[in-house]
Structure 1
Amino acid sequence: MDKRRPRVPASPEGTRPRLRVVEAAAPKETGPPASAPPQTDDAQGEGTSGRRWKAARSTSRRNRIQRFWQFAEEGNPYTTFWLLLGSALALTVFGLVMVLSATAVESVGTEAGAYGVFLRQATWAGIGLVGMFLVAVMPRGWLKKLAWPAMALGVLGLALVLTPLGYEVQGNRNWIAIGPINGQPSELAKIALCLWTGLVLARKGPKVRELQHTIVPVIMPGAALIFAFILWGRDLGTALVFGFFLAAMLFVSGTKARYFIAAGITGVVGAVLLALMSPNRTVRIQAWLGINDACSLPQDFCYQSEQGLYALASGGFWGVGLGQSRQKWNYIPEAENDFIFTILGEELGLLGALTVLLLFAALALGMFRVASRSSETWVKITTVGIMAWVIGQTFINLAMVTGLLPVIGVPLPFISYGGSALTANLVAVGVVMNFAQTQRLEARERAQSAQGAPAKRAKGAKSSKGSGVNSRRKPATV
């Protein structure tokens, strides 16, 4: 028996079949035409790398701006309320400390004593804080109902300034005294005009784009009465603050831009005429511009601003120390009022000044978030008006004490001495806190409803699964 392995017949082609290994075919290299010289890497990426770098940098910058804008516009509805409350309380504490530091030296030996001015300011701060919390927890419908009565009281208070109850301070007749209580009715009028204007513009809706609905009744007769009484008392600085936040509210409501151009030209012409009609204002503007040797007059209209700049310059970065200011020793007139920021800069330095500015920025950020997140027109317009009032007045005061604007007598919100002003600022923040509290509750309800929906769906799916199992059972046989 032949135990040899049987011989396999040859294939038809006469060769043994072999396994073929399929390899990935490499792409054919296509080089440049024979006539063109070979390109180097530098020649190929001469402009491409630069364009890619610029595009990447532009995209990164755009993303950073979008992230910042999203942070500023939306934020967290749960923290906006506390952002407003914390910044307002911190600014109030800063103001009380600086009022005590600026007035204790000059008040020594007086009837009220070294702490007299501070105690009055602290009393008004307590009243303002109570009002702020009451307004913050008040139902929103009550704020709407209070808009018209507040407007009537604001106009009535400004009218009382022209009666024997009113008196003049530093050339401006804008104070009233009822028994032991005195204050500025214009501060109450600021809150009243914000609430009332926001309510009226919200009810008008798209009609505000028409000229007649823009003027009546917001400008005529509402704001016109307030401006008339304020200018009658020669308080141009307060009139500028009113005009600033009223323009902001009209802009947000949808008023056409060409109306603002006409109103701006009219306002500038009116301000120039009012300045020329008052010799005191004319000389102050000349001193600010450095013309006609206004600083060499016996009254020395440059003295206050120069001493304020000396105080800011001597503070340095860390400051000379709390309570250690030199300029408050009868060098800066009204150091506790309009020029209190110079004392703050001298004692706390650039670090303290920047801290106060950051607190104002945090307050503005919280108000901006409330306005941007709100879907109700009245809330949006009113919040923008309060924000423009507080931040606009802050800008005017800081520009005044640093020499960017002439001295026009506008106090610094929350910091300057003045009980009625501090109370009005705190109550205004309380109005915005009311809106922020409502948004926080709405966000909590949405979160709870979103959490409850998956649970309901899971429960429904479980019951349907059980019913499916039961349906698959074999029916019982009889």
Structure 2
Amino acid sequence: MVSTPTRHPRRRPAARQHSGSRGSSRVNASGNPAADAIAARPERKGVLGAFGRMWRFLEGSDRQTSGSSYYMILGATLALTAIGLMMVLSASSVESIANAASTVEPTDEGAIVFDFFFKQSMYAVLGVVLMLVLSRLGPRVFKFLAWPGLGVAIVLLVLVLLIGENINGNQNWIRIGNQSLQPSEPAKLALALWCATVLERKRGLIRDWKHALIPVAPLGGVILLLVMLGGDLGTAIILGMIMAAALFFAGAPMKLFTLVGLLGIAGAFGAILLNSTRSTRIQAWLRLNCESATDPCFQTNQGLFALASGGWWGVGIGQSRQKWNWIPEAHNDFIFAIIGEEFGLIGTLVVIALFGILAVATLRVARRYTDPFVRILMGSILVWLIGQAFVNIGMVTGVLPVIGVPLPFISYGGSALTFTLAAVGVLLAFARRMPPAVPGTAGPAVSSNQTSASDK
């Protein structure tokens, strides 16, 4: 008896079974399993997904060129400057009219209202021109300017103590005709350039605390001392932040920051105890002397009233009530309170978001470079701009004591605006030459000092 083999039904190909079955997995089409795994990863929906996509856009991809970072830095800077001009016009108009009313000679009412605005606009144009000029330079020129810039800064700070003008207890200005110069503002940029140049040469010795501090601490300390002798503790704190940022991005040991931080805190307390005005402000911040006749909490309280009255959407541009001689220095140190009153919480968040975009774009450029000079300089300028903005906003909202630090790009002040824009010009110079990253990696394809274009 012969048995015949049993015939089995022909099986379909595996790929066809997957394509025909419901809920089957997606077939790899690119041939790259890692890329297909990332592409097949489900996207988060809702608020978390939106924030994730926004962060990935801001952080930038490995294949991204320098164009987007360049325009993010430039756009955020110009937007903040435009907001500043608009708010200086709004916040200073009342004070301009009040100052004109005290004069005997009749003046044009229109010119009176726009006085601060015209001056700030002139310095904004000068700053933008200087920003564009510096954006065309390279690391070699910045290194060449480091030592002369530091020397000029020290000379100007000495001249302030000799022939400077004292305003509100701070001797910080040199009067030149109808204009005034605040030398501590160019000193910030000069200190950042000089620290980056010196620390870049010590790249192999920076882990030794002696090489990290010398000569940064002695010569940088001279600038801090000259500013402190003029009575400006707030600017001295910002200069100290610039020096600390330069040491941090250079790779100095962390135990050094602990020691220097403790010494800095002790020095700040000593400066506060030796000055009655500073100690009064600290007591006002702690709400210990608000019931006194002089009411040192008045400025902070009025700033909080302005922020509270603005609500979500604000009372409208030009409609602030607190700027009518309620908030001292409404167009200067406390201009953020006027923004909150006229544009509400949304307006303040827009300003903070622009500073955030500036910070993210700067970090995005700095991480592409392997040249320590570029990283140290960009990190120092970043800490200067963002740190000063944080101090000012914290001061207005009551988180920090009032120490007289302006809001970058926005507060009234010609010297501050001009050299802040100049610092952005340095950031733009490196953003224009940002080396491309190797696909699939976070690092640069080439070092900045290996490209001839970036070293011109």
Q: Residue type matched to 2:160 in 1? A: V
Pair 1:258-2:245 in alignment: no
Of 197, 203, 206, 2:204 maps to 206
Q: Does structure 2 retain, via aligned residues, the 8 Å contact 1:73–1:373?
A: no
Please give the alpha-carbon distance, in whole angstroms, between the structure 1 residues aligned to 2:301 and 2:263. Answer: 32
Q: Residue type matched to 1:227 in 2? A: L
Alignment of 1:224-373 (within 5 A): 224-291=221-288, 294-373=289-368
Deviation at residue 66 of structure 1 after TM alignment? 11
SS in 2 for 1:122: helix
Pair 1:174-2:172 in alignment: yes
Of 394, 400, 416, 1:399 maps to 394
Change (3 A) 1:186 1:66: same
Deviation at residue 139 of structure 1 after TM alignment? 3.7
Instruction: Extract unaligned runs of 5+ from structure 1.
Output: 1-14, 25-55, 447-478
Please give the alpha-carbon distance, in whole angstroms, between the structure 1 residues aligned to 2:318 and 2:52. Answer: 41
Aligned length: 393
TM-score w.r.t. structure 2 length?
0.82
- Residue 103 of structure 1 corresponds to 92
SS in 1 for 2:318: coil
Change (3 A) 1:325 1:254: same
SS in 2 for 1:271: helix
Q: Does structure 2 retain, via aligned residues, the 8 Å contact 1:176–1:182?
A: yes
- Residue 21 of structure 2 corresponds to none
Please give the alpha-carbon distance, in whole angstroms, between the structure 1 residues aligned to 2:357 and 2:57. Answer: 15
Q: Does structure 2 retain, via aligned residues, the 8 Å contact 1:73–1:372?
A: no
Q: Which moved more, 1:203-212 or 1:377-386?
A: 203-212
- Residue 59 of structure 2 corresponds to 72
- Residue 137 of structure 1 corresponds to 136
Compare the two structures and name the one with the higher helix fraction. Answer: 1
Please give the alpha-carbon distance, in whole angstroms, between the structure 2 residues aligned to 1:364 and 1:444. Answer: 20
Please give the alpha-carbon distance, in whole angstroms, between the structure 1 residues aligned to 2:235 and 2:419. Answer: 14
Q: Does structure 2 retain, via aligned residues, the 8 Å contact 1:74–1:369?
A: no
Deviation at residue 287 of structure 1 after TM alignment? 1.4
Please give the alpha-carbon distance, in whole angstroms, between the structure 2 residues aligned to 1:257 and 1:444. Answer: 29
Q: Deviations over 1:419-448 (max 9, x none)?
A: 000001100000000001111xx54999xx
Q: Does structure 2 retain, via aligned residues, the 8 Å contact 1:198–1:249?
A: yes
- Residue 454 of structure 1 corresponds to none
- Residue 3 of structure 1 corresponds to none
SS in 1 for 2:358: helix
Q: Residue type matched to 2:127 in 1? A: G
- What root-mean-square deviation, in Å, do the aligned CA atoms of Structure 1 and Structure 2 show? 2.5
Pair 1:151-2:150 in alignment: yes
SS in 2 for 1:251: helix
Q: Deviations over 1:288-316 (max 9, x none)?
A: 1122xx11222210000000000000001
Change (3 A) 1:70 1:97: closer
Q: Deviations over 1:364-411 (max 9, x none)?
A: 111111111112110000000000000000000000000011111000
Q: Residue type matched to 1:370 in 2? A: V
SS in 2 for 1:17: coil
Q: Residue type matched to 2:314 in 1? A: G
Change (3 A) 1:114 1:71: closer
Q: Deviations over 1:341-385 (max 9, x none)?
A: 000110011111111111111111111111111121100000000
Q: Residue type matched to 1:18 in 2? A: T
Q: Residue type matched to 1:79 in 2? A: S
Q: Does structure 2 retain, via aligned residues, the 8 Å contact 1:241–1:392?
A: yes
Please give the alpha-carbon distance, in whole angstroms, between the structure 2 residues aligned to 1:241 and 1:201. Answer: 19
Of 93, 96, 103, 2:82 maps to 93
Deviation at residue 416 of structure 1 after TM alignment? 0.3
- Residue 408 of structure 1 corresponds to 403
Deviation at residue 68 of structure 1 after TM alignment? 4.4
Deviation at residue 16 of structure 1 after TM alignment? 3.5
Change (3 A) 1:74 1:396: farther
Instruction: Extract unaligned runs of 5+ from structure 2.
Output: 11-40, 101-106, 440-456
Q: Does structure 1 retain, via aligned residues, the 8 Å contact 2:185–2:416?
A: yes
Pair 1:420-2:411 in alignment: no
Q: Does structure 2 retain, via aligned residues, the 8 Å contact 1:132–1:431?
A: yes
Task: Please tell me whether Structure 1 or Structure 2 has the larger radius of gyration of its CA atoms.
Answer: 1
Please give the alpha-carbon distance, in whole angstroms, between the structure 2 residues aligned to 1:139 and 1:262. Answer: 35
Please give the alpha-carbon distance, in whole angstroms, between the structure 2 residues aligned to 1:71 and 1:304. Answer: 37
Deviation at residue 70 of structure 1 after TM alignment? 8.7
Pair 1:19-2:5 in alignment: yes
Please list every run of at least 4 consecutive aligned residues from structure 1 whose deviation after the TM superposition is greater than 6 angstroms: 64-67
